[in-house]
């Protein structure tokens, strides 16, 4: 998609510096500026803005299904997520697109399965251990929302490329204020392997403070700026690094947790404090959002990129296993949407979908055209209090990884109806679970269901072939 930057002036004298994401942008200069001026005239804005909500998508990193109190966690208190759940719709059957970071993020950014956009595995700062490359030219959610007039921002963790052409501003975002890389080695130092990946757009910055607090304040500042331009709807993507390891809550939060639970294991106490610190900052953000008058015209979604990491004291109960695993502990995630319709507050949905359904939902809410190659499904019927269309849907999962366990290979899972076919590394035999009879995946029934296995294998093979058409190395 060709982009052109031009300066235009509307009929009421306001000046706009605008990125025009449309093929006509190749005719840069005065003609493009004249077109922008016409598009941004007050009648256009008044006709388009009132019915299109602002969109906020918040993504936690490695937050386990069982680490939020609205889902019954006995030791973690998340009052602000509890409030969001009470004001919105809680989805109990949603899964992440992948068991690890980058593929889920690539799926959310594009609305396509991650291997179909070149990201079957984690994109890392060291090329020898990087297993994805976001495909150039694939429109992102930011591109598509920008096409229909939204201001777009990412504040937080990107993790989909360190250099051109895969920096956030080059992939559709008007503003990037956050961390370019995969994980921080320290939440106060913000380095990865000694390299500073903190950026404001293309500019390297070196802010002081805990990353969770920085991202929250930057998001609050963004909301304040957008409140001064109410004629233009916005899309804010707010992906936190927390609670991804290193598990590093501020000391006062850890002290408070240990005082409350003096006999708690240190590892668990650190994670409880870390999650509660994140929740506190989410509360600051929600309060500011509502105080600016955005409550009635902003849809807020919250989820996690994958399940929690068991070796780091995180919890995914009642599901089996955790991060990196295709058992549901690695896939099922907290998932809340606060819609505009307040009559749906406190309701629940058991719809079984994937995190990239948020992409299709946002585009649907914004009135944007559907991507013909999208694999995602809009959840708008649920946000309107209606049932989802009754049609069968497969859920496909893939992860590629290095080291001695995976050796650069990929492993897969497929869910169709009640059946789940899966493996947890490229060299282990496939397993089959009946999720209706055995939701906790305790009994592998592959030996007694050969016909079902054959059907699922054929379907899985077709998914793998589709993903194989896209390069995952630059």
pLDDT tens figures, 151-182: 999 999 999 999 999 999 999 999 999 999 99
Residue with tokens 């408070």: 256
Residue 1 has pLDDT above 50, yes or no: no
Average pLDDT over residues 310-324: 97
Cis peptide before 96 (omega within 30 of 0): no
Question: Tens of pLDDT along 413-457?
Answer: 999 999 999 999 999 999 999 999 999 999 999 999 999 999 999
Q: Evaluate if residue 279 carries a pLDDT over 70.
A: yes
Instruction: Check whether 46 has a pLDDT greater than 50.
Output: no
Please, are residues 54 and 299 in contact by the beta-carbon 8 Å criterion?
Answer: yes
pLDDT for 15:
34
Q: What pLDDT score does 245 carry?
A: 97
C-beta atoms surrounding 136 within 10 Å: 15
pLDDT (average), residues 30-53: 44
* Res. 12 pLDDT band, cuts 50 70 90: very low
* DSSP conformation letters of 259-286: HH-TTS-HHHHHHHHHHHHHHHHHHHHH
Does residue 10 register a pLDDT over 90? no
The overall average pLDDT reported for the chain is: 91
**How many whole angstroms from its chain centre is CA 141?**
11
- What pLDDT score does 370 carry? 85
The distance from CA 382 to its chain's CA centroid, rounded to whole angstroms, is: 19
- What six digits make up the tokens of 373? 């190659």
| pLDDT at position 16 | 36
* Residue in this structure with the two tokens 């994401």, named with its chain if needed: 21
Domain ranges of the chain: 3-48, 54-383, 394-467
Q: How far apart are CA 119 and CA 377, in angstroms?
A: 20
pLDDT band at 4 (very low <50, low <70, confident <90, very high): very low
Q: Which residues touch 110 (CB under 8 Å, ≥6 apart)?
A: 117, 138, 139, 140, 141, 356, 359, 371
Residue 348 confidence (pLDDT) above 80: yes
| Closest to 98 measured CA to CA, from 330, 373, 310, 320 | 330
Q: What is the pLDDT of residue 35?
A: 39
Nearest to 271 by CA among 51, 135, 76: 76
What digits encode the pLDDT tens for the residues 363-406? 999 999 889 999 999 999 999 999 999 888 999 999 999 999 99
- Please write the tens of the pLDDT for every residue from 323-344: 999 999 999 999 999 999 999 9
Domain 54-383, what architecture?
3-Layer(aba) Sandwich (3.40)
How far apart are the C-alpha atoms of 92 and 74, rounded to whole Å? 18
Q: Are 349 and 318 in contact (CB under 8 A)?
A: no
Q: How far apart are CA 473 and CA 467, in angstroms?
A: 13
Q: In Å, how far are 54, 296, 352 from 50, measured between CA atoms?
A: 10, 11, 32
Tens of pLDDT, residue by residue over 174-221, are 999 999 999 999 999 999 999 999 999 999 999 999 999 999 999 999
Whole-model pTM: value is: 0.89
Half-sphere exposure of 473 toward its Cβ, with a 13 Å CA cutoff? 8
What is the model's pLDDT at position 25? 38
Contact 119, 133 (CB under 8 A): yes
Provide the token pair at 95. Answer: 């899964």
Query: Closest Cα partner for 433 from 419, 413, 423?
Result: 419
How many helices, marked H, and strands, marked E, lie in the chain? Answer: 13, 18
Q: Which parts of 180-263 fold into alpha helices (H)?
A: 211-227, 251-260
Say which residues have a Cβ less than 8 Å from residue 107's Cβ, sequence separation at least 6: 97, 98, 113, 114, 117, 119, 354, 355, 356, 359, 376
Is a pLDDT exceeding 50 seen at residue 256?
A: yes
Give the mean pLDDT of 296-310: 98
pLDDT at 9: 36
Q: Got the DSSP string for 6-59?
A: EEEE-TTS-EEEEEEESGGGGSTTHHHHHHHHHHTSHHHHHHHSTTS-EEEEEE
**22 or 464, which is more confident:** 464
pLDDT of residue 390: 84
Positive or negative, the CA dihedral 131, 95, 352, 349 is negative
Predicted pLDDT of residue 28: 38
Rounded distance, CA 347 to CA 361, Å? 18
pLDDT of residue 51: 79
**In residues, how long is the chain?**
474
Output the pLDDT for position 399: 98
Angle at Cα 153 formed by Cα 148 and Cα 159, nearest 5°? 120
DSSP state for residue 171 in the 8-state scheme:
G
How much is the average pLDDT of 275-286?
98
Which two three-digit tokens encode residue 353? 């979908």
CATH of domain 394-467: 3.30.1120.10
* Measured distance CA(217)–CA(359) in Å, rounded: 25
Say which residue the tokens 């072939």 belong to: 465
Specify whether the CB–CB gap between 444 and 433 falls below 8 A: yes
55 φ, ψ (degrees, to nearest 5)? -130, 125
pLDDT over 70 percentage in the chain: 89
Looking at residues 83-104, what average pLDDT do you find? 98
pLDDT at 324: 98
Q: Specify whether the CB–CB gap between 63 and 243 falls below 8 A.
A: yes
What pLDDT sits at residue 232? 97
Residue of 296, 227, 230 whose CA lies nearest to 46: 230
- Residue 128: the pLDDT is 94
Convert the pLDDT of each residue in 60-82 to its tens digit: 999 999 999 999 999 999 999 99
């Amino acid at each position: 998609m060709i982009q052109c930057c031009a300066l235009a002036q509307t009929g009421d004298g306001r000046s706009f510096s605008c990125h025009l994401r449309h093929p006509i942008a190749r005719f840069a200069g005065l003609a493009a500026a004249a077109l922008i001026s016409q598009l941004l005239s007050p009648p256009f804005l008044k006709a388009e803005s009132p019915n299109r909500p602002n969109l906020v998508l918040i993504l936690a990193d490695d937050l386990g299904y069982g680490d939020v109190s609205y889902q019954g966690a006995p030791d973690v208190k998340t009052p602000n997520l509890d409030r969001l759940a009470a004001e919105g719709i809680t989805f109990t059957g949603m899964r992440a697109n992948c068991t690890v970071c980058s593929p889920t993020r690539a799926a959310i950014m594009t609305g396509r399965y991650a291997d179909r956009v070149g990201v079957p595995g984690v994109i890392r700062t060291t090329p020898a251990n990087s297993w994805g490359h976001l495909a150039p030219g694939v429109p992102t959610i930011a591109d598509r929302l920008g096409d229909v007039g939204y201001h777009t921002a990412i504040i937080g963790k990107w993790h989909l490329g360190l250099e051109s052409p895969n920096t956030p501003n080059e992939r559709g975002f008007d503003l990037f204020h956050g961390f370019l890389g995969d994980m921080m080695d320290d939440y106060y130092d913000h380095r990865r392997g000694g390299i500073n990946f903190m950026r404001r757009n293309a500019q390297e910055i070196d802010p002081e403070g805990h990353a969770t607090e920085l991202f929250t304040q930057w998001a609050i500042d963004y909301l304040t700026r957008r409140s001064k331009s109410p004629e233009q709807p916005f899309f804010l993507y707010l992906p936190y690094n927390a609670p991804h390891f290193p598990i590093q809550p501020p000391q006062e939060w850890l002290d408070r947790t240990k005082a409350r639970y003096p006999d708690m294991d240190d590892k668990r106490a650190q994670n409880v404090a870390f999650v509660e610190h994140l929740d506190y900052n989410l509360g600051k953000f929600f309060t500011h959002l509502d105080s600016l008058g955005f409550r009635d015209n902003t849809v807020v979604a919250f989820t996690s990129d994958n399940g929690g990491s068991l070796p780091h004291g995180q919890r995914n109960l009642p599901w089996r296993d955790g991060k990196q695993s295709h058992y549901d502990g690695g896939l099922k995630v907290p998932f809340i949407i606060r819609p505009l319709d307040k009559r749906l507050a406190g309701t629940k949905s058991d719809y079984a979908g994937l995190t990239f359904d948020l992409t299709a939902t946002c585009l649907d809410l914004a009135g944007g055209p559907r991507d013909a190659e999208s694999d995602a499904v809009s959840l708008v019927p649920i946000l309107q209090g209606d049932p989802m269309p009754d049609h069968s849907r497969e859920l496909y999962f893939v992860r590629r990884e290095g080291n001695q366990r995976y050796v650069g290979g990929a492993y897969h899972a497929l869910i169709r109806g009640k059946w789940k076919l899966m493996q947890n590394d490229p060299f282990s035999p496939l397993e089959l679970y009946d999720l209706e009879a055995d939701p906790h995946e305790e009994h592998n029934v592959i030996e007694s269901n050969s016909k079902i296995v054959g059907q699922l294998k054929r379907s899985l093979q077709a998914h793998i072939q589709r993903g194989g058409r896209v390069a995952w190395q630059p």
